Homo-oligomer: A and B are copies of this chain.
Amino acid sequence: MPTVKLVDENDPNPIVQRVFRDIKETKKINWIPNIWRALATHPEHLELCWTRLKAIMRPGKVDALTKEIVALAVSATNGCNYCINSHTAAAMKLGLDVEGLGEVLAVVGLFNQMNKLADAYQVEPDILPHVR
């Protein structure tokens, strides 16, 4: 159960109204995901989070699907249930199928393992070949 009362989708606060409207337009949905309704308990923070997320997730040198895959890899590594659910859904909406999801998660699992082995043996960074 959330630790705060989720803000209503029709809350009259002008910052909340402006951000909620932009979320719906940008994501082409007609409802507000719970995370934004929780953040709206502090409207200035809601706006900071949303405007920054919108700027960072816009396709650039890296395309939208790859960005969602990165979001999922981070969320799975952190074990954040809410985020795993929403980024899995978002990546699949952008075209990742179950087999592709399996490949992405295989890489996530693999490097969570390899990271710990590198740490555990205290392996020092390689001197790159051209410097050797």
Binding site for B on A (CB under 8 A): 1-4, 29-31, 33-35, 38-39, 41-42, 44-45, 48-49, 52-53, 55-57, 60-62, 66-67, 69-89, 97-126, 128-129, 132
Contacts and interface: CB of A to CB of B under 8 A. Distances in A.
Contact of A77 (B4, B41, B78, B118): B78
Nearest to A97: B61
Contacts of A104: 62, 70
A76 B116 contact: yes
B125 A82 contact: yes
12 contacts: A4-B121, A35-B121, A42-B98, A56-B107, A57-B110, A71-B107, A75-B115, A82-B118, A82-B125, A83-B114, A83-B118, A110-B113
Contact of A31 (B66, B107, B120, B132): B132
A115 B48 contact: no
Interface centre among A38, A83, A99, A102 (most CB of B within 10 A): A102
A111 B75 contact: yes
